[in-house]
């Protein structure tokens, strides 16, 4: 016997509840239990000493870093940014997209600074000749970001800080790196395309203006995005992607 439309709706709502709402609610509850700064003034923004001192390493470097963001939204999302260093440079060059002041901020914070007191992690790192070859493409991609002007920021569904970094990664030829599923805003279509073939990652990306979408391909496996929360599986990496928690893989990609 075929299922009635009402039964299908109930099953769909149950799936949304179990797959998206329940993990997000659990993450929010765990977040509330933890200790977090009350305001941005109370937060620690100092260097986490994650990166080597730039003057001690003469080689070029390219990094993408990420850390949980502030407030309750930190229970479901990260903030990501880009760090560049020319060969022989004695300082790093950090690029963030933020929602206040100058939207594309250069060197607004320490290169490996904590974000709302949360420790950063390295998503992507390249050094030496490989980094030196990537630097022009990274800078060109930063300059090409279409939402760089004042007013070009929206927390949800985007364009936000993660939309900016995801745009840069997609526009550097030859890179297959993607941001974590908890980088809410990474799936906002910065190119304006609701259907997009990502050649470097061999993924087909579908987006309903960032509010919902899907990704399928060799690079990402199968992902479903609902209101910024991402659930999915990646058979090639034996990975599962849990909303608000991120990716758990038996064969993780190297940084």
The span from the CA of 76 to the CA of 142, in Å, is 26
Mean pLDDT for the stretch of residues 46-55: 95
- Is the pLDDT assigned to residue 185 strictly greater than 60? yes
pLDDT of residue 38: 84
CB 255, CB 63: distance < 8 Å? no
Q: What integer best gives the mean pLDDT of the chain? A: 93
Q: Which of 76, 80, 78 is nearest to 20 (CA)?
A: 76
**Sole residue written with tokens 């790192």:** 125
pLDDT of residue 40: 85
CB 222, CB 216: distance < 8 Å? yes
- Is the pLDDT assigned to residue 246 strictly greater than 70? yes
- Write out pLDDT tens, residues 97-155: 988 766 799 999 999 999 999 999 999 999 999 999 999 999 999 999 999 988 889 99
The span from the CA of 39 to the CA of 37, in Å, is 6
pLDDT of residue 101: 63
- Write out pLDDT tens, residues 212-236: 999 999 999 999 999 999 999 999 9
Q: State the helix-helix crossing angle for 128-143 and 161-170, rounded to 10 degrees.
A: 120
pTM: 0.93
Instruction: Tell me the domain boundaries of the chain.
Output: 5-249
Q: Which of 217, 251, 253, 212 is nearest to 230 (CA)?
A: 212
pLDDT above 70 as % of the chain: 98
pLDDT of residue 128: 96
The span from the CA of 102 to the CA of 192, in Å, is 23
Between 32-36, 75-79, 161-165, 232-236, the lowest mean confidence (pLDDT) is in: 32-36
The span from the CA of 246 to the CA of 229, in Å, is 10
Q: Which of 98, 94, 82 is nearest to 147 (CA)?
A: 98
- Is the pLDDT assigned to residue 1 strictly greater than 60? no
CB 85, CB 60: distance < 8 Å? yes
Q: How many residues does the chain have?
A: 255
CB 221, CB 237: distance < 8 Å? yes
């Amino acid at each position: 016997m075929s299922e009635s439309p009402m039964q299908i709706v109930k099953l769909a709502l149950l799936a949304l509840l179990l797959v998206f709402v329940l993990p997000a609610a659990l993450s929010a509850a765990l977040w509330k239990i933890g200790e977090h700064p009350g305001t941005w003034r109370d937060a620690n923004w100092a260097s986490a000493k994650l990166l080597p001192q730039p003057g001690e390493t003469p080689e070029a470097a390219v990094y993408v870093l990420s850390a949980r963001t502030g407030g309750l939204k930190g229970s479901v999302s990260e903030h990501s940014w880009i760090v560049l260093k020319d060969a022989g440079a004695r300082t790093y060059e950090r690029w963030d997209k933020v929602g206040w002041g100058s939207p594309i901020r250069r060197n607004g914070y320490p290169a490996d600074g904590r974000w709302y007191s949360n420790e950063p992690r390295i998503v992507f790192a390249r050094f030496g000749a490989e980094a030196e070859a990537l630097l022009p493409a990274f800078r060109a991609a930063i300059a090409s970001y279409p939402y760089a002007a004042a007013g070009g920021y929206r927390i949800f569904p985007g364009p936000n800080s993660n939309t900016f970094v995801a745009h840069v990664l997609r526009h550097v030829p030859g890179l297959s790196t993607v941001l974590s599923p908890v980088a809410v805003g990474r799936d906002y279509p910065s190119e304006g395309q609701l259907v997009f073939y990502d050649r470097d990652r061999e993924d087909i990306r579908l987006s309903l203006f960032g509010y919902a979408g899907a990704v399928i391909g060799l690079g990402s496996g199968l992902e479903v995005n609902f209101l910024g929360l991402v659930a999915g599986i990646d058979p090639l990496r034996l990975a599962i992607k849990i909303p608000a928690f991120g990716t758990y893989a038996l064969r993780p990609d190297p940084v």
